Structure 1
C-alpha cells in the first residue's frame, strides 16, 4: 500500500472523504467555469498538507514525571 507522508493510502482516502463536503460547498460558491480548477487545487493542497504533517506519540494521561508526588 502506498504511503503519503505519515499516512497510508487508505487513511488519505478517509481524510478526503471527510473533507469532500467542504470542497463541494466551495465549488457551489464558485463560478461554473472555475470549478474544475478549484477542485483540483483544493485536492492538491489537501494532499500536500498531509505529506507535510508529522505526528509524534502523544503523552499518555498516566505518564508522570519523577517530580510528581502522587500518593496512593
Structure 2
C-alpha cells in the first residue's frame, strides 16, 4: 500500500470520527437540550475507534492477499 493511500484512508477515518462526534453532540442538544459529557460516551468512542482501526487492518491484510 502506498503512502498516499494510507494518508487518504487515515484522513477519511479521522474525518469520519469527527463527523460522528459532531452528530452525537447535535443529537444530545436536540434530545437533552445540552451537551452532557459522560464517561460512557468516552468509552463507547474508544470502542468505536478500535473497531475502525481493526476494520482498516483487516482491509489492508485482505488487500495483500489479493495481490
| TM-score (norm. length: structure 2) | 0.44
Greater RCO, CA 8 A, separation 6+: 1
More helix by share: 2
More strand by share: 1
- Largest Rg, 1 or 2: 1
